[in-house]
Amino acid sequence: MNDELPKRYDPLAVEKAVAERWRAQGYSNPDNLPERHREPFVVMMPPPNVTGSLHMGHALEAALTDCLVRFKRMRGYRTLYLPGMDHAGIATQNVVEKTLQQEGKTRHDLGREEFLKRVWAWKEQYGGIILEQFRRIGVSADWSRERFTMDEHYTRAVEEAFRRYQEKGWIYKGTRVINWCPRCATSLSDLEVKYVPERAKLYYIRYGPFTLATVRPETKLGDTALAVHPEDARYAQWIGKTIDIESVDNNIPREESPRKKTVQIQVVADDAVDPAFGTGIIKVTPAHDITDFEIGQRHGLPSIMIIDEHARMNENAGARYRDMAAAEARAKIADDLAALDLIEKVDDYEHNIARCDRCGSIVEPIPSQQWFLKMAELAEAAADAYRSENVRIAPERWLHVALERLAHERDWCISRQLWWGHRVPVQGETDVLDTWFSSALWPFATLGWPDATKDLIRYYPTQWMTSAREILFLWINRMIFSGSFFMGKTPFTEVFIHPTVLTKEGKRMSKSLGTGIDPLALIEREGADALRFGLLWQLTGAQDIRFDDSAIVAGRKFLTKTWNATRYVLGRIGETAVPSTAPEPEKEIDQAILRELAYAVAAVEEHLEALRFGQALERFYEFFWHAFCDKYLEATKKREDEQAKLVLLWVLSASLRVLHPFIPFATDELWEKLPHQERTPLTIAPWPDEHRK
């Protein structure tokens, strides 16, 4: 037996061979599971972008989900871990447009039909690389059920969802202020906007008797009110009044010296004002700020659009500033105001600038005619699901965050001015739907909805979902209200908001900033099991993980320890086979290790059920390394009795089963080397349960 197990653990060779064995066995497909696997445990893979590649956040999400899925499968659940990809409208369109740029072309040169052919060709050749990378980390998903949000059936589900929302009267087309990317020429979702800390100037501008602080003096030309907080005593006497203020005359040609003009502006009271910001009074520009737009709606304020969809000043900015880029106009109007003694002071100021996540352009809030989905009833349905505990969220601190967002949910801008995506299903419409509109249907559209398929009947609702915290509002909440509305049941019962993986210094990982860590490089160096170990080891309940690759090195050492312990046991047992049930030895030392094993297994179960992955791994690490290897193996080195051999084999076989969800490749290879009386693949081997006796 000992000759069959190499002296040195070679993770890359082992992982390749084991992956092939898993494919041949096919037990990731619930249809192939034995009869004892009855009660379903279903997890939908958060669909990565078709353009994506594995980063540390993906690796963490994959490791913890697969750990739970493998644990449940061994516990006898009919597990379905369904994989798939999102078409990622803006990201994918940008990638293909960049390839066209290299040919000196734009998508408009090709036309919509030919451009979409190019996108599909790109998807077939390059898209989905990330799913192969998920396989490298050992994800035991049912690849036969892989889904894509632009598949024909999924597209039909999206169109059906739109139609049903229309029938409820919840879809409308209207003009509201939205996030707009001048470069991509489309509206953006919140997730497609990244906020980048940048140095700026904070201008304190005189508005009649007041002084207001703003970083965007160019929007002064679109002001239609001033606003204060209703309980701010400093300004109580001004609420409801109209005042005269001096401003720059925007009709004076730019080559002439600036001149003042007097305009009238009203003062309103609104809870949206932060009394602690600046001087506690803000200018309201309803056309160029989402919060200001809502203030304007509440108070019936006029809306004056002065910046167009190309981020240039329009005719409403007057002859002095018309056709200037917004950034140029900012500097010009600041100089003009200063020349007119209308600027009290200017401070250096650091704040977050909204930029398009795909192209880096500054996002302009502008009024735009778009398709919207009314959110009042849908948001309440999601909130009810949380309050009734039909959906439980962990860690519990995120419950308040989710409910707070739902209480202030705006109508959802669901249209995008792109070519790649699901066309808005209205005759003559050229816009496509927001990517999140389709992904909100993921837990049931992947199972065949709107048809009543066998999979939909058997596997909906699912049991578990995980995501990063930034996806909570954009995806988790939307899946909850979508499932509640279309299926009459929430799409899952438990949500786990996993930590964000940061650098060791506590910075966000970013390839562009040089702070990213490539998980595939770590797999090449240390192996997938070591990476899984290192990530799960650090998953102890903190909001963020400061990634330390010393945990991966520790994982590699533990794998070597497990490998060597197995070689040692195989060299000691002779012709003895793994017992079919736990031994009942007479010696106290043997009884003690079996008791410690039972305690350790029970603790791992408890921790995993409570999603304490790091604590579960650490508990069994301590048992295996110290109680079993350091103490029991050493204490039994000179024993040749059959009882010692049976206990050695039983504890080792049980340990490999318990460790399998965490480090599946090495444990599977070692399991295959054990002398089983009846060989059962480790992926479906029963979880040790002698602690229940």
Q: What is the pLDDT of residues 645-686, one digit of tens each?
A: 999 999 999 999 999 999 999 999 999 999 999 889 999 999
Give the C-alpha separation, 99 to 94, whole Å: 9
Q: Which of 124-133, 410-419, 517-526 has the highest mean pLDDT?
A: 410-419
Boundaries of CATH 1.10.730.10 in the chain?
548-692
pLDDT in tens, 314-361: 999 999 999 999 999 999 999 999 999 999 999 999 999 999 988 889
Give the C-alpha separation, 669 to 653, whole Å: 12
List Cα–Cα distances, 535 to 66, 609, 684, in angstroms. 13, 18, 24
For helices 550-572 and 528-537, what crossing angle results, to 10°? 120
pLDDT in tens, 284-310: 999 999 999 999 999 999 999 999 999
Q: Place 1 in a pLDDT band, splitting at 50, 70 and 90.
A: very low
Give the C-alpha separation, 564 to 572, whole Å: 13
Q: What is the pLDDT of residue 514?
A: 63
Q: What is the pLDDT of residue 692?
A: 65
Average pLDDT for 26-31: 98
The arrangement of secondary structure in 548-692, i.e. its CATH architecture, is Orthogonal Bundle (1.10)
pLDDT in tens, 161-190: 999 999 999 999 999 999 999 999 999 988
pLDDT in tens, 434-460: 999 999 999 999 999 999 999 999 999
Average pLDDT for 140-152: 97
DSSP-based three-state secondary structure for 424: coil
Q: Place 52 in a pLDDT band, splitting at 50, 70 and 90.
A: confident
pLDDT in tens, 97-117: 999 999 999 999 999 999 999
Give the C-alpha separation, 385 to 349, whole Å: 42
Give bridge partners of residue 413 from the DSSP assignment.
372
Percent of the chain exceeding pLDDT 90 equals: 90
Q: What is the pLDDT of residue 693?
A: 60
Q: What is the pLDDT of residue 517?
A: 82
CATH of 187-366 given 3.40.50.150, 3.90.740.10, 3.40.50.1000, 3.40.250.10: 3.90.740.10
- Would you say residue 239 has pLDDT above 80? yes
Give the C-alpha separation, 105 to 614, whole Å: 51
Q: What is the pLDDT of residue 571?
A: 93
- Would you say residue 256 has pLDDT above 50? yes
Give the count of alpha carbons within 13 A of 4, CB side only. Answer: 12
Percent of the chain exceeding pLDDT 70 equals: 98
Q: What is the pLDDT of residue 604?
A: 97
Give bridge partners of residue 501 from the DSSP assignment.
545
Q: Evaluate if pTM is beyond 0.85.
A: yes
Give the C-alpha separation, 171 to 624, whole Å: 58
Instruction: Classify the phi-psi angles of 692: left when phi > 0, otherwise alpha if psi is within -120 to 50, otherwise beta.
Output: alpha
List Cα–Cα distances, 342 to 209, 222, 245, 317, in angstroms. 11, 17, 10, 18
Query: To which H or E segment does residue 180 belong?
Result: strand 171-181
Average pLDDT for 514-521: 80
Give the C-alpha separation, 636 to 332, whole Å: 85
For the chain, the C-alpha Rg in angstroms (whole number) is 31
User: Is residue 528 within 8 Å of 546, Cβ to Cβ?
Assistant: no
Which own/partner pairs from 308-311 qualify as long-range (CB within 8 Å, at least 24 positions apart)? Answer: 308/366, 309/180, 309/182, 309/185, 309/364, 309/366, 309/368, 310/182, 311/182, 311/361, 311/362, 311/364
Average pLDDT for 380-407: 96
| Burial class (CB within 10 angstroms; exposed 0-12, middle 13-18, buried 19+) of 167 | exposed
- Would you say residue 365 has pLDDT above 90? yes
Give the C-alpha separation, 634 to 617, whole Å: 23
User: Is residue 343 within 8 Å of 334, Cβ to Cβ?
Assistant: yes
Q: What is the pLDDT of residue 635?
A: 94
Average pLDDT for 46-56: 91
Q: What is the pLDDT of residue 452?
A: 97
Q: What mean pLDDT is reported for the chain?
A: 94
Query: To which H or E segment does residue 689 belong?
Result: none
Torsion of CA 160, 163, 169, 172, to 10 degrees: 110
CB atoms within 10 A of CB 315: 11
How far does Cα 433 stand from its chain's mean position?
A: 20
Boundaries of CATH 3.90.740.10 in the chain?
187-366
Give the C-alpha separation, 399 to 403, whole Å: 6
Q: What is the pLDDT of residue 690?
A: 67
Give the C-alpha separation, 389 to 183, whole Å: 43
The runs of H, that is alpha helices, within 254-360 are: 290-299, 326-339
Q: Which residue has 């059936």 as its token pair?
A: 153
Q: Place 191 in a pLDDT band, splitting at 50, 70 and 90.
A: confident
Kindly state the tokens that stand for 101. Answer: 């740029």
DSSP-based three-state secondary structure for 116: helix
Average pLDDT for 377-383: 97
Q: In terms of Cα–Cα distance, which of 603, 470, 423, 515 is closest to 61?
A: 470
Q: What is the pLDDT of residue 509?
A: 77
pLDDT in tens, 543-597: 899 988 899 999 999 999 999 999 999 999 999 999 999 999 999 999 999 999 9
